[in-house]
Amino acid sequence: MELDPAFGTNIHLPPEEAAGYLKKSQLATKPEEERLFLHLDHFLSDFFETSPSDAISLLLTLLFQFADSKLHEHMSRTIITFIQRKIKEKKIIPANIEVFQPEYNLWRFIERTQLKRYIETFQVQIDQDDLLDFASEMWVKNRLDDSVQTAAEFGLSAALNDNFDVIKTLISKTRFDLIERFVKNDLDLVHQALRLIPVTEFKVGAKLIFQHRLNSLDYPEIHKRATEASIRYSIDFDKICIYQLIEITYKNPEAISLITEHLAKQNPKKKMWAVKIASFLYRKFEYIKIDKGLERKLQKTPQRDCKGLPVVFAPLDPSVELFLDIPRERVIFVDRVEQLNDIKWYGDYAGLDSEWKSNILRFDDNKPAILQIALDDVIYIFDLFELNSVPEFNELLERLFQSDIIKLGVSFDGDSNNMKRHYPQLLSFSKDMKNYIDICKAYGKIFKKSPGGLAGACELLLGKPLSKFEQMSNWENRPLRESQVHYAALDAYIQIVLWKKMQTETSTPLSSFLNNKKKIYKGDPSCEYCSSKLHPTTSCPYGNRCKICFHHGHNPNNCPN
């Protein structure tokens, strides 16, 4: 990259001396940002007092010295932030700064990921043709990342693709990471990329389909490959038992067929249980379509008697896992408008949670099915499918969310975002919640480490783990199984128990926990078998879980459930 010959003619310090001038400030290494700001303040304070335009010119010229350095992005981000601070501090109007004018071409020194921020922050006017010429120049010089970043940021991807057949070139170079960036927000380019991406790279195509909310069935080969991969992962690796997988997918003929086929392919000498379950599924669901050879194999294989998922109001293993200590009749399922009139919010605390059917398949995007709200002596489970469009329900939630009652949750902002996306009519989720405390962040603030999640916090504070078995279940069941009701109720209620316990462990004022966004990531490792925080995997007293029923203590071939 070459400097514009006209640049710097009015700067007190010539641009070519910029690097030497600031060498003393140790900018050749990557210091902490605040320390770097102190250096810049020290060396440039006089410039900003007498000639802010000169000071800004000097800083931007400095970026030229880092154009081919690994520090370019860091320096661009840091210097832009520093200039922002100074403009605000000195009340400088960007339009009055000469070097921000288009003829200086200083934007060419800015690292590509920071360019849009630079233009918007300092109100720099750049012609679209100049930006396209720059992106084209970078492409010709084989600086693909810079070219793609510039084109994508400024809506020039289609024009650049017309000039250079960018998508085909990126595919030939296996730069699928750049394709995702290049086609962003341009559906025509997304469709073009999906038609050109080879089937062997179905994961790339699946990601594009999911990100842009497209119908995966329009790309049948990608859909099939991605669905097969999801099923294989769920059976072979994921922490979900076969019973749950069947419950979640039984209404999907394609998924059940793929599950049956994958189980049927297992070696009978090692996984006879899998082949027997495949035989059971083949006989139970008439719509299953699998390979003819596997059909003959299953016709000769005795089927396994499948007892299904638990139906009692209890955790999976009541002897070692937390049990809800509120009577069953105080857990109320709400699915009718007339029930809403009887609900009153009271007490000091409310535990919040929501559940949705597990997104097992690659293109699943299941809506939240229930919302749980626990008070001290009653727990409500709201049916979102029935109530999401009821104004009285939204008003009821609004009264709670904006009340003085302390709301307790674990990453409930994620639940809220999910609600806003699927149920935009529930406006109560669009407002900032008043008096919200995140249980895991509160734990981190008190004990200076992460509990790893709600189950970890329960084990560390209450001595027993919280069963997470039903988390991966079909929350669209109506009615819910009793074990699902127990899980849903306990997940919300236990947060009140945990918060009361934590209050006995700290003198930190309540106000410092409210709407705290700071997260502590470091924590003790979890046991790979039972997720316990109290012992390592090597000394787990339970051992691995059964893939059929998820209980400890036996392998699938000997599963009694």
Whether 293 has a pLDDT exceeding 60, the answer reads yes
Residue 373 forms part of a structural domain:
yes
Instruction: For residues 494-512, give the mean pLDDT.
Output: 93
Please report the beta strands in 457-510, taking only residues with DSSP state E, as ranges in sequence order. none
Lowest mean pLDDT among 18-32, 64-78, 256-270: 18-32
Whether 19 has a pLDDT exceeding 50, the answer reads no
Last residue of one domain, picked from the residues 150, 180, 214: 214
| 81 in the same domain as 62 | yes
| 84 in the same domain as 199 | no
Instruction: For residues 88-114, give the mean pLDDT.
Output: 71
Whether 165 has a pLDDT exceeding 70, the answer reads yes
Instruction: Tell which residue, 385, 386, 390, 395, has the closest CA to residue 343.
Output: 395
Instruction: Tell which residue, 247, 471, 446, 443, has the closest CA to residue 369.
Output: 471
Instruction: For residues 360-383, give the mean pLDDT.
Output: 96
Q: What pTM value is reported for the model?
A: 0.80
Residue 23 — very low, low, confident or very high, per pLDDT cuts 50/70/90?
very low
Instruction: For residues 512-535, give the mean pLDDT.
Output: 81
| 390 in the same domain as 292 | no
Do strands 406-409 and 349-356 pair parallel, antiparallel, or not at all (unpaired)? Answer: parallel
Whether 29 has a pLDDT exceeding 50, the answer reads no
Residue 38 — very low, low, confident or very high, per pLDDT cuts 50/70/90?
low
519 versus 189: the higher-pLDDT residue is: 189
pLDDT number for residue 83? 80
Residue 525 — very low, low, confident or very high, per pLDDT cuts 50/70/90?
confident
| 362 in the same domain as 490 | yes
pLDDT number for residue 34? 58
pLDDT digits (tens, 9 = 90+) for 252-264: 999 999 999 999 9
> What CATH code is carried by the domain that includes residue 402?
3.30.420.10
Residue 538 forms part of a structural domain:
no
Cβ contact 179:193 at 8 Å: yes
pLDDT number for residue 20? 46
Q: How many domains does the chain have?
A: 4
| 484 in the same domain as 350 | yes
- Residue 350 gets which letter from DSSP? E
Instruction: For residues 438-448, give the mean pLDDT.
Output: 93
Q: Average pLDDT, whole number, for the chain?
A: 87
| 370 in the same domain as 257 | no
| 204 in the same domain as 137 | yes
Residue 448 forms part of a structural domain:
yes
Whether 71 has a pLDDT exceeding 80, the answer reads no
| 178 in the same domain as 136 | yes
Whether 289 has a pLDDT exceeding 60, the answer reads yes
Which range of residues forms the domain containing residue 427? 328-524
Place of tokens 């509160």: 442
Whether 27 has a pLDDT exceeding 60, the answer reads no
Whether 477 has a pLDDT exceeding 80, the answer reads yes
Cβ neighbors of 119 (< 8 A, separation 6 or more) are 107, 126
